[in-house]
């Protein structure tokens, strides 16, 4: 089965090169960007104001190929791709929870963005803690990696 999605918009961010970019919104605190929504979808933005955070689902368009075992940004060991948030995947979809600052017509001003400039937006959803938060969540390999050390800073030197 082939699935074809059309972008509903495009991300504008300060990041024009992958090198040196933040690896997650939590590591991009205060970084401003815009999600521009194409005119035919603007009506669907109604009632989004009032949500402090939104989920941006993006097509990571500069992703090239994938490996099923990867060394993630936060570690030095190989782990199964689907146990990571690595951008190179069979379907390179990025999921970013960003802060919604303002909506002006078809432009959503956001903060904490970890997405490259020009990235196609596939969908926008409100972030609802009740739906997403799992206080009982465990972190698998990432839990022990965090205990060892966080390597993201070194990776992007
Ligand atoms: C680890 S991914 C995480 C993205 C999203 N928060 C997620 O968890 O799905 C973020 C990294 O993807 C890469 N990236 C961002 N935008 C991209 C794009 N349009 N194409 C390919 N890679 C991208 C950058 O290396 C960035 O640091």
pLDDT, tens digit, 9 for 90 and up, residues 90-142: 999 999 999 999 999 999 999 999 999 999 999 999 999 999 999 999 999 98
> Ligand 1 within 6 A of 24 CB?
yes
User: Within a domain: residue 93?
Assistant: yes
Helix ranges (DSSP H) in 21-96: none
* Tally of domains in the chain: 1
Q: Which domain covers residue 97, as residue numbers?
A: 9-155
The answer for residues whose C-beta is within 8 angstroms of residue 8's C-beta and 6 or more apart is 37, 38, 41, 121, 122, 123, 124
User: Within a domain: residue 4?
Assistant: no
Ligand 1 centre distance from Cα of residue 63 (Å): 8
Task: Say if residues 110 and 34 touch (Cβ distance below 8 Å).
Answer: yes
pTM over 0.75: yes
53: its two tokens: 């955070």
Question: What CATH number has the domain bearing residue 108?
Answer: 2.40.30.70
- Is a pLDDT exceeding 80 seen at residue 58? yes
Ligand 1 centre distance from Cα of residue 96 (Å): 9
Ligand 1 centre distance from Cα of residue 31 (Å): 15
User: Within a domain: residue 113?
Assistant: yes
User: Within a domain: residue 63?
Assistant: yes
């Amino acid at each position: 089965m082939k699935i074809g999605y059309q972008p509903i918009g495009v991300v504008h961010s300060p990041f024009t090169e992958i090198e040196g970019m933040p690896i997650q919104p939590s590591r991009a605190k205060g970084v401003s960007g815009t999600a521009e929504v194409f005119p035919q979808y603007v009506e669907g933005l109604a009632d989004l104001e009032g949500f402090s955070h939104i989920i941006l689902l993006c097509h990571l368009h500069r992703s090239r190929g994938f490996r099923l075992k990867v060394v993630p940004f936060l570690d030095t060991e190989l782990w199964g791709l689907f146990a990571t948030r690595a951008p190179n995947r069979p379907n390179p979809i990025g999921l970013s929870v960003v802060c919604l600052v303002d909506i002006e017509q078809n432009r959503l001003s956001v903060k904490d963005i970890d997405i490259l400039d020009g990235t196609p937006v596939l969908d926008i959803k409100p972030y609802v803690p009740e739906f997403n938060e799992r206080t009982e969540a465990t972190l698998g390999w990432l839990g022990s990696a965090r205990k060892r050390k966080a390597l993201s800073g070194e990776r992007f030197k």
